[in-house]
Structure 1
Amino acid sequence: MEVHELKDINNGVWFIFFILGLGTLLPWNFFMTATMYFTSRLRDPSQMEAISVNVTSGEWHHRSLLEAKFNNVMTLCAMLPLLAFTCLNSILHQRIPQNFRVMGSLGVILVVFLLTAILVKIEMAPLPFFTLTMIKIIIINSFGAILQGSLFGMAGLLPTKYTTPIMSGQGLAGTFAAFSMICAIASGSEINDAAFGYFITACAVIILAIMSYVALHKLIWVLALSVCFAFTITIGTFPAVTVDVKSTIADGGAWELYYIPVCCFLLFNLSDWAGRSLTAVCMWPGKDSKLVPILLVARVIFVPLFMLCNVQPRLNLPVFFKHDAWFIVFMIFFAFSNGYLASLCMCFGPKKVSPHEAETAGAIMAFFLSLGLALGASLSFLFRGLV
């Protein structure tokens, strides 16, 4: 369905363009507003130099070179790629499908924010942290430029009133970022913990923008979300939780040595491969069946099942499934269902659209698969921490 054929029921399209407008400038505003966190990571006592003096108290304020130059370099790394890729988008829009440009840009930005949230918990020397931060700023502004140009081009196919929500959403981006940072500080958490929650909030907004764009085009969104959810559950649990399951029947010896390599990794990959291969001869249920997404949602049961196995060390939950056989049975069904159901979604996705849109649909399905992997990797910290 072409964009200009969309019917705005209950101003749904207007709201979606507002969310997408918010998503175009929100990434840059989140990085810019988090200056206090970034500069705190750049302090290096061995390279301090006096920058300015407080005339009233006569006390020197000391900052490292990287800390002092952060804001200037950050702005340069943001604005130059923004200019370059805005120009580049005027060429790309005729050669790369609109759906791929928008979804691809949102996907890359989401991955950058997930990486930023994860790096909050990782110690790093000032110089590598500075370099990596600037690379991330270049990336989000490059793809943000493509997203912005594509979005305004899409709005150009609609009545002029649909440009207003884009501008309004962009205007709210800075306010939303500042308010989120204030809430993070007001939580009373240490700066790293507050920054982690702050960047996770940005991830949630970007995911909302992705969902809004999918809803706008009425794609194969059920299957796309299904394959995303499949890998979110899989990667969120395997291997972060499953690798720490200990045998309860082994008393030293070979079984304890081979338990995880065989029952976790080998068994998962064999079962997953079997599930994927089965779609070559059996594709039940069909592409229009509602049973596929229902079965994929039902896979969430594997999260508590594995948590209640003998995962060690553990602080919160009891061990309910003590025998090794429980873990083996869970792993077989967990991996087989992942391979089979995810393969069905990937096969059916391009078949749910007209032939000329099949290539774009395939690319979008691949994006949602990658999105599921990224979300699963992020949730794995939560799942393991709950045990």
Structure 2
Amino acid sequence: MARGDAPRDSYHLVGISFFILGLGTLLPWNFFITAIPYFQARLAGASNGTARILSTNHTGPEDAFNFNNWVTLLSQLPLLLFTLLNSFLYQCVPETVRILGSLLAILLLFALTAALVKVDMSPGPFFSITMASVCFINSFSAVLQGSLFGQLGTMPSTYSTLFLSGQGLAGIFAALAMLLSMASGVDAETSALGYFITPCVGILMSIVCYLSLPHLKFARYYLANKPSQGQAQELETKAELLQSGQFFNPICCFLLFNIMDWLGRSLTSYFLWPDEDSRLLPLLVCLRFLFVPLFMLCHVPQRSRLPILFPQDAYFITFMLLFAVSNGYLVSLTMCLAPRQVLPHEREVAGALMTFFLALGLSCGASLSFLFKALL
């Protein structure tokens, strides 16, 4: 709720800035994971001139690296560690240093990813460099998002919703960029290079937006009187589930998920149900575990153990719709309701604990991905 003596957000510039900051925080990572087929092609031995962002054939040598499993695990472990570490960093490292430093570090790492498109490299070193980039990108992203949510905690809740909506749009933007890259008709190297440069532009826009905040009267009013910091938000990681048809993955796994996830996050702008005292909320969260066996029993190729109970793609799409919208809604709902459960001076600790256990859950899920893959 806005304070009675607060100035107006002229032309909604502060809201737009936080929306772009939300977009910029997850844009690099979403571009990274939607380009998984490009990395798999490089690891399978394709040269930089023939490796494509998307490939219709994902079988063979790349399985030796277990790329999807490792990228999920090595993204969540740094997220878990640095989400916890950020609870202490805010006391000794200035906020501007944490935010701008993280943005610049992510920009450099993604510029490196783009540069590697032009470099011929054997699969082993390429895998090592890529995994190191995954670790560092997620480490800086954890600090960045935790610091930005510390700022948002001092402002009206509308700005947190705008930030979350921007994060949801990042996945949609990445999926659309992948589809445009596939349909562009240019050579594979130019397509991949342009694809990876795009999020660098998004990060630069985020830097400009953050630097503009001290010059906006509305932002200065709230940020100069902030009571606490330390809340944070999660990164979302998606692994490929189905690998049939060239456009099925980008549309049904990435674009569809991110659209519905963004819709779910945006719903909390209109209503918050169930409320913080309801026992229905933890029940709804626990019921989402049912999606694990449902997805595993869909038509996933290269299985040798589990049967296929849902052979039609319509089943997978339906499960994905429900999975994505419930993910976005329940994540946003719990993050909005958690501070209401504690006293004002305890909200900082509550936010840090919420983010820590969220990251812990994602890390456990990433670890279990090896088991789930083996069960197929």
With normalisation by structure 1, the TM-score equals 0.50
Give the match for residue 185 of structure 1. Answer: 182
State the shift of 1:101 in Å.
Answer: 0.5
Unaligned runs of 5+ in 1: 46-59, 220-387
Give the match for residue 199 of structure 2. Answer: 202
Give the match for residue 29 of structure 2. Answer: 28
Query: How far apart in 2 are the matches of 1:173 and 1:61?
Result: 25
Residues 217/6 of structure 1: CA separation in 2 closer, same or farther (3 Å cut): farther
**Structure 1, residues 133-168: CA drift from partner, whole Å, max 9, x if none?**
010011111000101001110011111211111110
Give the match for residue 144 of structure 2. Answer: 147
Q: Is the 8 A contact 2:41 2:62 kept in 1?
A: no
1:106 aligns with 2:106: no
* RMSD of aligned alpha carbons: 2.1
Give the match for residue 88 of structure 2. Answer: 91
Query: How far apart in 1 are the matches of 2:110 and 2:10?
Result: 32
Letter paired with 2:105: V
Query: How far apart in 1 are the matches of 2:103 and 2:214?
Result: 15
1:8 aligns with 2:9: yes
Letter paired with 2:186: S
State the shift of 1:217 in Å.
Answer: 1.8
Query: How far apart in 2 are the matches of 1:6 and 1:42?
Result: 54
Give the match for residue 17 of structure 1. Answer: 18
Higher RCO, Cα 8 Å, sep 6+: 2
Q: Is the 8 A contact 2:24 2:170 kept in 1?
A: yes
Query: How far apart in 2 are the matches of 1:91 and 1:180?
Result: 37
Give the match for residue 262 of structure 2. Answer: none
Q: Is the 8 A contact 2:74 2:134 kept in 1?
A: yes
Q: Is the 8 A contact 1:155 1:163 kept in 2?
A: yes
Letter paired with 1:33: T
Give the match for residue 82 of structure 1. Answer: 79
Query: How far apart in 2 are the matches of 1:154 and 1:5?
Result: 16
Letter paired with 1:13: V
Give the match for residue 375 of structure 1. Answer: none
Q: Is the 8 A contact 1:77 1:134 kept in 2?
A: yes
| SS of structure 1 residue aligned to 2:43 | coil
Q: Tell me how many residue pairs correspond in the alignment.
A: 202
Residues 69/170 of structure 1: CA separation in 2 closer, same or farther (3 Å cut): same
**Structure 1, residues 79-107: CA drift from partner, whole Å, max 9, x if none?**
11111111111110111111111100000
Larger Rg belongs to: 1
Residues 111/5 of structure 1: CA separation in 2 closer, same or farther (3 Å cut): farther
| SS of structure 1 residue aligned to 2:60 | strand
**Structure 1, residues 238-294: CA drift from partner, whole Å, max 9, x if none?**
xxxxxxxxxxxxxxxxxxxxxxxxxxxxxxxxxxxxxxxxxxxxxxxxxxxxxxxxx
Q: Is the 8 A contact 1:78 1:138 kept in 2?
A: yes
State the shift of 1:23 in Å.
Answer: 1.3
Instruction: Give runs of ≥4 in structure 1 deviating > 4 Å.
Output: 4-7, 65-68
Residues 31/61 of structure 1: CA separation in 2 closer, same or farther (3 Å cut): closer
Q: Is the 8 A contact 1:66 1:127 kept in 2?
A: no
**Aligned counterpart in structure 2 of residue 72 of structure 1, from 69, 72, 92:** 69
Query: How far apart in 2 are the matches of 1:135 and 1:6?
Result: 45
Query: How far apart in 2 are the matches of 1:203 and 1:131?
Result: 22
Query: How far apart in 1 are the matches of 2:86 and 2:6?
Result: 24
Letter paired with 1:173: A
Letter paired with 2:86: N
Query: How far apart in 1 are the matches of 2:158 and 2:58?
Result: 51
Q: Is the 8 A contact 1:81 1:138 kept in 2?
A: yes
Give the match for residue 213 of structure 2. Answer: 216
Query: How far apart in 2 are the matches of 1:6 and 1:98?
Result: 23
Letter paired with 1:80: L
Query: How far apart in 1 are the matches of 2:116 and 2:7?
Result: 41
Letter paired with 1:43: A
Residues 114/61 of structure 1: CA separation in 2 closer, same or farther (3 Å cut): closer
| SS of structure 2 residue aligned to 1:157 | coil
Identity of aligned residues (%): 51
Letter paired with 1:187: S
Give the alignment of 1:1-387 within 5 angstroms: 8-44=9-45, 62-65=59-62, 69-218=66-215
Unaligned runs of 5+ in 2: 47-56, 217-376
Query: How far apart in 2 are the matches of 1:91 and 1:211?
Result: 27
Q: Is the 8 A contact 2:102 2:140 kept in 1?
A: yes
